[in-house]
């Protein structure tokens, strides 16, 4: 795959669109969040220019910024960069990827299905919490109930208080 200037897949289309919910973040607030996330990428560029190798912690911090500002396209770019640098994701990586979708439940489920499920990581209550938080943010009770049912099918996992609060 072609790699862009940041190490991301230059051919990956923008898979996720931002849904503006009634009473949601203002356009100005959204723009400020995007600027904040782009500044975080700038730090990564500075590291590269000084030949400092990024670590899992570097990318997880970048992904947390993307999650805080609901920037799934930037989060995917960071994930592509992780793959480019041969850095193995952990549960926190996937939690931030899912949280970056904000209230876009379909995008959050797609990330879970395409990235977390095929990974070698064991199922995690934290990942299900992130999915349920997306459902709650969207007011999607049906998807929340489906996600909770899926969680309950995983041996050894029990819904946490955060999971139950989301439903």
The H-assigned helical ranges of 17-160 are 27-49, 56-68, 72-84, 91-99, 105-111, 125-138, 141-152
Confidence (pTM): 0.77
**Can you give the three-state secondary structure of 107-138, one letter per residue?**
HHHHHHHHHHCCCCCCCCHHHHHHHHHHHHHH
Q: Per-residue pLDDT tens, the chain, 167 aa: give them.
A: 344 444 444 444 444 444 333 344 555 556 666 677 777 778 888 888 899 999 999 999 999 999 998 999 999 999 999 999 999 999 999 999 999 999 999 999 999 999 898 888 988 999 999 999 999 999 999 999 999 999 989 888 887 776 777 66
């Amino acid at each position: 795959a072609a790699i862009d200037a940041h190490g991301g897949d230059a051919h990956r289309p923008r898979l996720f669109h931002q849904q503006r919910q009634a009473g949601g973040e203002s356009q100005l607030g959204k723009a400020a969040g995007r600027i904040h996330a782009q500044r975080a990428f700038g730090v990564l560029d500075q590291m590269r220019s000084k030949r400092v190798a990024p670590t899992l912690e570097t990318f997880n911090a970048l992904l947390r910024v993307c999650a805080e500002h609901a920037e799934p396209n930037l989060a995917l770019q960071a994930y592509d960069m992780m793959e480019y640098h041969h850095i193995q994701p952990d549960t926190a990586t996937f939690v931030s990827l899912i949280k970056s979708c904000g209230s876009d439940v379909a995008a959050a489920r797609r990330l879970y299905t395409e990235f977390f499920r095929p990974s070698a990581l064991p199922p995690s209550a934290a990942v299900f919490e992130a999915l349920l938080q997306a459902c709650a943010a969207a007011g999607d009770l049906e998807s929340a109930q489906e996600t909770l049912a899926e969680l309950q099918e995983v041996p050894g996992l029990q819904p946490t208080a955060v999971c139950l609060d989301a439903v």
